[in-house]
Amino acid sequence: MADEPRLPQKRYFRQRAHVNVFNDMKFDYPERPSTQDWAPYYPAYFRANGAEADGAGEDGKRPLSEGTVVEAKRGPGCEAPEAPEAPNALKEEPNNLARVEFADIGCGYGGLLVALSPLYPNTLMVGMEIRTKLVRYLQKRIEALRAFQHGLLDQRSSRSVEWVDVRSKLDLEISALHTSSEAVDEPDNGETTRLVPGHYENIASMRINCQKYLPNFFAKSQLSKIFVLFADPHFKRRKHKARIVTQTLLAEYAYVLKEGGIFYMITDVRDLYEWNVKHLDAFPLFERMTQEEVDKDPAVPCVVHSTEEGRKVARNKGDKFLACYRRIADPFEV
């Protein structure tokens, strides 16, 4: 059928891995978080230019997604969350029905977001990437997955449509995490024949230089998870200042992460891992999670196995170095 959605092909969206983050490139960014318009990215959650969201009722809210089998925090139709007490908190934006809570910095082709979406179906997640072609690819991928899900929803009246058992899938990935990485090495392009909780309405991608504009998008204590997965190692000493983990950037991560929020870092480069751990250990607002806590975190299997770079490392039988840090209370904050 001509109208049948199609997933984009990566071969048409290849782009060199290295981008100079200090170049004076043109980006669209809000003056402050409360002025960011999220409606184009999450049409099921936000009103577009003050209008009611598609499928919403008179109050501009949508019902919760069907088939939610993992405990969710919020969703379309829930009351707006209490805003942080920061002066630029989300309470300044009256049309917000939810808020972005997960940020994947340097999201690449979006494997992590697609994997996490059904696990946290009512939590908004954004992939932030500086490379234009990859952002375009991921947004087309998300739009196609949403279209597949909407088509399956429309077919329920005429035939039986299967739901994905998210808990079983998660248990399988957790088991593989402790046995063999090859068990989950098959490509995961998202569900196109089975319904998933959230229907991929809770993920989006945007082009942004996070090393310059991250606080323009997120209010203080807004995020609960930040992911930095297989980042550019910038091997040359003169390029170390461009690494995604530095004392300056950790201050920004601590600002947008709420108390108890988690910073996930994984790489296949030991030198970069040691650099990141050194800086995170030295930063006073982060403490490393114990191995027991990491093992119980449902997001960790996705962090280790779901990204395209992670699967490439597994195919080459390389090492992966994971570290997870929790944002702790600021003793000097009143």
Contact between residue 241 and residue 295 where contact means Cβ atoms under 8 Å apart: no
CA nearest 123: which of 39, 221, 42? 42
| Contacts for 151 with CB less than 8 Å, ≥ 6 apart | 4, 5
d(C-alpha 307, C-alpha 310), whole Å: 5
Contact between residue 46 and residue 39 where contact means Cβ atoms under 8 Å apart: yes
d(C-alpha 3, C-alpha 6), whole Å: 9
d(C-alpha 291, C-alpha 323), whole Å: 9
- The token duo for 39 is 């409606």
Instruction: Write out the H or E segment, with its range, that includes residue 293.
Output: helix 291-296
Please give the C-alpha separations between residue 122 and each of 93, 99, 106, 164, in angstroms, as whole numbers: 20, 10, 22, 16
CA nearest 114: which of 66, 75, 148? 148
d(C-alpha 147, C-alpha 43), whole Å: 13
Catalytic site residue from 232, 268, 271, 295: 232
Length of the chain: 334
Please give the C-alpha separations between residue 62 and each of 57, 97, 197, 256, in angstroms, as whole numbers: 7, 10, 15, 27
In 3-state terms the chain splits into helix, strand, coil percentages (rounded to 5) of 35, 15, 50
Catalytic-residue membership of 232? yes
Residues labelled as active-site residues: 232
